[in-house]
Amino acid sequence: MATLQSLDRGLRALSLISLAPEGLTVAEIATQLGTDRATAYRVVDTLEQHALVARGVGKKIRLGAGAVVFASRFQPQLIRAAGPVLQELADAAGVAAFLSLAQGDDACVPVLSAEPARQTIFQVSYRIGAGHPLDRGANGIAILALQPAAESDSEAVGRAREAGYSVTAGELQHGAVGVAAGFEVPHLLGASVGTVAMGEVDVDRLGGLVREAAARLARLSRA
- ∠149-154-157 over CA atoms, to 5°? 60
Say if residues 41 and 26 touch (Cβ distance below 8 Å): yes
Q: What is the pLDDT of residue 75?
A: 60
Q: What is the pLDDT of residue 171?
A: 78
Q: What is the pLDDT of residue 107?
A: 81
Tally Cβ neighbours within 10 Å of residue 5: 10
Q: What SS3 state is found at 131?
A: coil
Q: What SS3 state is found at 36?
A: coil
| CA 26, chain centre distance (Å) | 26
Q: What is the pLDDT of residue 121?
A: 47
Q: What SS3 state is found at 180?
A: strand
- Which tens digit of pLDDT belongs to each residue from 116-148? 987 654 555 556 667 788 888 999 999 999 988
Q: What is the pLDDT of residue 2?
A: 57
- Calpha distance 200→115 (Å, rounded): 18
- ∠96-99-13 over CA atoms, to 5°? 105
Residue 40's nearest CA partner among 77, 6, 81, 87 is 6
- Calpha distance 86→217 (Å, rounded): 9
User: DSSP assignment, residue 148?
Assistant: P
Ranges of the chain with pLDDT below 50 = 121
Q: What is the pLDDT of residue 42?
A: 94
- Calpha distance 109→37 (Å, rounded): 30
